[in-house]
């Protein structure tokens, strides 16, 4: 049988996966894999465990939310194991990248995707030459929502918790003066409500933000909401529903492989970035694409 290393977060998605662990192992065995399980318990243990692995594994699986997948990918890249195919098992509160790929949340169906053995390469984003992301780097309004949500609240209410916490910021938030430098498109200076650097089409449970995004085109999709008064959001929502939002007033959109983002605010508000639901580095940040960096199981 082929060797499969499962790395799972027992707390993701309210801890539902640990109750389905036996079902997962059974389904994987039916698909020809012998499963070895690593349960993440402490900060840094995923990186340490992957650092002790060798190249004798046929696949690695990451079961959790976007943050857990991010930790596994960073460890694989850091320790030179990116040649081992990665299975994404969506068991978290938010699994935006898995949603984009159409990976089913049903355990048996997810295992069948792995068992079919179809893989494709995906690009990664690299921030400040130190940290990778597979789905999104964000900054501004809402970007720190996932960092501020009480764990119990998130477990109880799932994705709704993100929206509730985000609404709390609306009353006090003011756009942030930023400078965005694109290697292909020049320099933008504007007051930014929110920026997203995407590898897939969406984040925060919202699909279609960048509807033509590709995971292996060598480009990242930059979308910024620039100086948009909140009363004008209604029109933007209608434009979004029609698929016309990227050409709306106040939207900055381009594709590039190298982007630099600077916060020009004198009081240094909202300088923290969010990468795949985890705290990222403070601005300024330099982001570039790592083309076809890792191989993932896909439908």
Structural domains in the chain, CATH included, are 2-117 (3.40.50.10330), 133-291 (2.60.200.40)
pTM of the model: 0.87
pLDDT tens per residue across span 45-55: 999 999 999 99
pLDDT, residue 217, reads 97
pLDDT tens per residue across span 70-105: 999 999 999 999 999 999 999 987 789 999 999 999
Q: What is the DSSP string of the chain?
A: -EEEEEEE-TTGGGGTGGGGHHHHHHHHHHTTEEEEEEE--STTHHHHHHHT--S--SEEEEEESHHHHHHHHHHHHHTT-TTS-EEEEE-SS--HHHHHHT--SSHHHHHHHHHHT-EEEEEEEEETTTEEESSEEEEETTTTHHHHS-HHHHHHHTHHHHHHHHHHHHTT---EEEEEEETTTEEEEEEEEEEEEESSS-BTTB--SSTT--TTSS-EEEEEEES--GGGHHHHHHHHHTT-GGGSTTEEEEEESEEEEEE--TT-TT-EEEETTEEEEESSEEEEEEEEEEEEE--
pLDDT, residue 152, reads 44
pLDDT, residue 159, reads 41
pLDDT, residue 231, reads 67
State the Cα–Cα distance between residues 52 and 47, nearest whole angstrom.
Answer: 9
Give pLDDT < 50 ranges for the chain: 144-167
pLDDT, residue 163, reads 40
């Amino acid at each position: 049988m082929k060797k499969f290393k499962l790395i799972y977060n027992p707390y993701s998605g309210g801890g539902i996966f640990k109750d389905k662990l036996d079902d997962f192992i059974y389904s994987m065995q039916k698909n020809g894999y012998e499963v070895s399980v690593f349960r993440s318990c402490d900060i840094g243990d995923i990186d340490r465990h992957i650092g002790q692995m060798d190249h004798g594994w046929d696949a690695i699986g990451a079961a959790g939310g976007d943050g857990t997948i991010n930790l596994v990918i960073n460890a694989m890249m850091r320790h030179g194991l990116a040649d081992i195919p990665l299975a994404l098992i969506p068991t978290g509160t938010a699994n935006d990248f898995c949603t984009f790929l159409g990976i089913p949340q049903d355990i048996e169906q997810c295992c069948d995707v792995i068992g079919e053995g179809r893989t494709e390469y995906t690009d990664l984003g690299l921030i400040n030459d130190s940290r990778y992301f597979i789905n999104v780097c964000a900054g501004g309004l809402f970007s720190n929502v996932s960092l501020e949500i009480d764990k119990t609240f998130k477990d109880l209410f799932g994705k709704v918790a993100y929206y509730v916490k985000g609404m709390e910021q609306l009353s006090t938030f003011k756009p942030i003066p930023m400078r965005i430098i694109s290697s292909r498109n020049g320099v933008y200076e504007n007051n930014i409500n929110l920026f997203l650097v995407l590898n897939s089409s969406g984040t925060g449970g919202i699909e279609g933000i960048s509807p033509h995004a590709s995971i292996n085109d060598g480009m990242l999709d930059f979308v910024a909401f620039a100086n948009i008064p909140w009363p004008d959001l209604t029109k933007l929502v209608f434009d979004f529903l029609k698929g016309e939002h990227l050409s709306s007033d106040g939207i900055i959109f381009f594709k590039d492989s190298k982007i630099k983002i600077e916060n020009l605010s004198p009081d240094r508000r909202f300088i923290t970035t969010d990468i795949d639901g985890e705290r990222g580095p403070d601005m300024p940040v330099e982001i570039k694409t790592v083309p076809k960096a890792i191989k993932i199981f896909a439908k």
